[in-house]
């Protein structure tokens, strides 16, 4: 794989860098981490700016090189990441683009790209965790609707979402990996109760969602009835394969800032700390190269990322946590001050062990799909 830039990519980088230099200074102040209505307004405003400038589609349809340049330049410039648009842009949107009907693409993709509508993710359930095949939320056919009853937990952005990518069991008698369907749930439908969950970092990014005979049109089902497990694998491939890639650049930027802080407060004189930061620099450089390879392979394979995303997700989760442990060593007591962004990021890093599938799930995928080992218990 050639890591150099083509002439088109170099011109795109220069154009994007110029646009960021003139646009970012005009952004309003970023809301506090716990102000989700404010964060929605801020993140959707940024998405609209990207859309109007012709950059909003780069998460989905761009050539791999242009997409990577976009991720790298926006992170290096300190531009907002997808924020509240995370699920719509990086999970639901790509899934609908790959698996939806022409009518579904027409209905949902435009509002996601423009930042008009926010999506949340309704996959996990209280008694299932990362074992999605154990889900119990049921959808019973009633004419042209499904009646959905059950509950979800760790539902990202449910408090401010317009839509939810929802997994339901449509055939309770089928094998647990069958009988599942993928629905687009309107969050303003009668029968929905949302209870925010406060995390260790003090924010309410997640929520419990309770569903009491909620009517969802059959036309909102993405993929065939009872074929939702396959559609879900597409969603998870995007989640693990590409949804975190922009964060690698952010971690490299944080690492550079950490080195500057260490020089300022004298911690740089510690050779063990310098070796630790140097090893992390190598780790994130390697992860970025892996990102380039994964994105390129996804394009060659029809746009859906392969199991290489699990390699990235597993190693990235560990590296991110190690980064913020190193930050605690450099910052000392300041690392415990929750009013400081790095302290909140350190606590948030702990969730990456279970986010988007636990590390054990990723190891199983790598063992079975990349190494060809038998399934556990076989």
Between the alpha carbon of residue 202 and those of residues 40, 85, 96, the distances in Å are 18, 20, 33
User: How many of the other CB atoms lie within 10 Å of CB of 347?
Assistant: 15
Backbone angles phi, psi at 314, to 5 degrees: -65, -50
DSSP per-residue codes, 139-176 = EEEETTEEEEEEEE-S-TTGGG-SEEEEEEES-TTS-T
The Cα–Cα gap between 140 and 215 comes to 10
Is 239 noted as a catalytic residue in this protein? Answer: yes
Catalytic residue among 99, 117, 239, 247: 239
Query: Which pairs from 284-291 meet CB under 8 Å and 24+ separation?
Result: 284/248, 284/251, 284/252, 284/255, 284/319, 284/323, 285/252, 287/248, 287/312, 287/315, 287/316, 287/319, 288/248, 288/249, 288/252, 289/3, 290/315, 291/68, 291/245, 291/248
User: How many of the other CB atoms lie within 10 Å of CB of 2?
Assistant: 8
Q: Which helix (H) or strand (E) element contains residue 341?
A: helix 341-349
Catalytic residue IDs:
239
């Amino acid at each position: 794989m050639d890591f150099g830039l083509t002439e088109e990519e170099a011109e795109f980088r220069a154009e994007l860098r110029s646009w960021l230099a003139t646009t970012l200074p005009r952004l309003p102040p970023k809301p506090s981490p716990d102000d989700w209505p404010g964060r929605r307004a801020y993140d959707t405003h940024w998405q609209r700016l990207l859309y109007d400038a012709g950059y909003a589609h780069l998460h989905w349809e761009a050539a791999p090189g242009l997409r990577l340049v976009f991720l790298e330049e926006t992170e290096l410039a300190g531009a907002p990441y997808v924020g509240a648009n995370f699920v719509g842009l990086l999970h639901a949107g790509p899934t609908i683009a790959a698996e939806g009907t022409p009518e579904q693409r027409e209905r949902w993709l435009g509002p996601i790209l423009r930042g008009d509508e926010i999506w949340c993710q309704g996959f996990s359930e209280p008694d299932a965790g990362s074992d999605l095949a154990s889900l119990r939320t049921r959808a019973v056919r009633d004419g042209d609707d499904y009646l959905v009853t059950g509950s979800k937990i760790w539902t990202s952005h449910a408090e401010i979402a317009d839509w939810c990518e929802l997994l339901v069991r449509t055939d309770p008698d089928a094998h647990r990996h069958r009988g599942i369907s993928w629905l687009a749930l309107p969050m303003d439908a009668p029968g929905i109760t949302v209870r925010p969950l406060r995390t260790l970092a003090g924010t309410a990014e997640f929520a419990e969602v309770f569903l009491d005979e909620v009517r969802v049109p059959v036309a909102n089902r993405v993929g065939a009835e009872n074929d939702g497990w396959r559609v879900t694998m597409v969603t998870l491939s995007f989640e693990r394969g590409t949804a975190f890639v922009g964060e690698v650049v952010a971690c490299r930027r944080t690492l550079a800032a950490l080195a500057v802080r260490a020089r300022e407060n004298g911690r740089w004189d510690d050779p063990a700390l310098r070796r630790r930061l140097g090893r992390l620099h190598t780790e994130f450089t390697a992860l970025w190269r892996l990102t380039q390879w994964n994105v390129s392979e996804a394009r060659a394979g029809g746009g859906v990322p392969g199991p290489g995303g699990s390699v990235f997700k597993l190693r990235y989760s560990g590296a991110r946590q190690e980064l913020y442990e190193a930050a605690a060593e450099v910052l000392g007591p300041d690392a415990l001050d929750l009013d400081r962004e790095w302290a909140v990021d350190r606590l948030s890093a702990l969730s990456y062990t279970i986010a988007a599938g636990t590390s054990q799930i990723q190891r199983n995928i790598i063992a079975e799909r990349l190494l060809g080992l038998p399934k556990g218990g076989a």
